[in-house]
Structure 1
Amino acid sequence: MSDVAIYTQPSCPYCSHAKALLESRQIAYEELDVSGDPQVLTEMIERTGGRTFPQIMVGNQAIGGFDDLRSLDSNGELLPLLQTQRGKTDTGGI
């Protein structure tokens, strides 16, 4: 299981941008498409408190949407956050 989960819906440009940023940094993620499963949408709201897309989790920490992800990356905080989560879960590679 990946340290990063991203809740998405089809045709969401911010979801595409978030996935592209993660892929450009070679960060594995689990995509959870809420469009076909109301339970996944309920899970997203409960885990993140958010109702917009995407909603991104790093480990058990909700970091918000694409703008928040981009800000963490721009400020050099994304990789250290992932490394911290990796240490907590001991999953191996990012």
Structure 2
Amino acid sequence: FGSSSNQFAFVLLGLSRKSAMASVDEQIASADVVFFDMPGCPYCADAERALNDKGIAFKKVNIAAYKPALREKTGKTSAPSVWIKGTYVGGCNDGTEPWHGVKPMLSNGKFEEMIRA
């Protein structure tokens, strides 16, 4: 999937690439922790449960309309896509960096550290 497939996806959603990126950026900036969720996704449910168990507040957003823009930003379209204060931190167990993933970051304290920063 190259940039032309992303452009096609934006067109299918009725968005220009620029407005789609602005829309996802607006969502990412709308809360300290933003959780792009896909209904029925077991990894989403697992990550959500882990955040709730730690008492961490987050904004949950359905990922469907944002997948093309998230692919542009992270190279990934998998769910969940979790962001702390505008920084992508991966999904449930991993991400694009070795330290990413909700559950590993909760275990080592990095998640809470980033919220407090």
Instruction: Provide the TM-score with structure 1 as the length reference.
Output: 0.75
Whichever residue aligns with residue 52 of structure 1, its letter is S
Higher Cα Rg: structure 1 or 2?
2
Shift of 1:24: 1.1
Q: Quick check: 2:31–2:58 contact (8 Å CA) kept in 1?
A: yes
Shift of 1:49: 3.0
Larger % of helix: which? 2
Matched, 1:63 2:89: yes
Larger % of strand: which? 1
Residue correspondence of structure 1 range 13-92 to structure 2 within 5 A = 13-35=42-64, 37=65, 40-67=66-93, 68-84=101-117
Shift of 1:2: 2.5
Instruction: Provide the TM-score with structure 2 as the length reference.
Output: 0.62
Q: In 1, distance between residues paired with 2:69 and 2:58?
A: 17
Q: Quick check: 2:90–2:102 contact (8 Å CA) kept in 1?
A: yes
| Bigger RCO of structures 1 and 2 (CA < 8 A, at least 6 apart) | 1
RMSD: 1.5
Q: Quick check: 1:48–1:55 contact (8 Å CA) kept in 2?
A: no
Say which SS state the counterpart of residue 57 (structure 1) adopts.
strand
Whichever residue aligns with residue 32 of structure 2, its letter is D
Percent identity of equivalent pairs: 25
For structure 1, the residue ranges without an aligned partner over 5 or more in a row are: 85-94
Q: Quick check: 1:48–1:57 contact (8 Å CA) kept in 2?
A: no
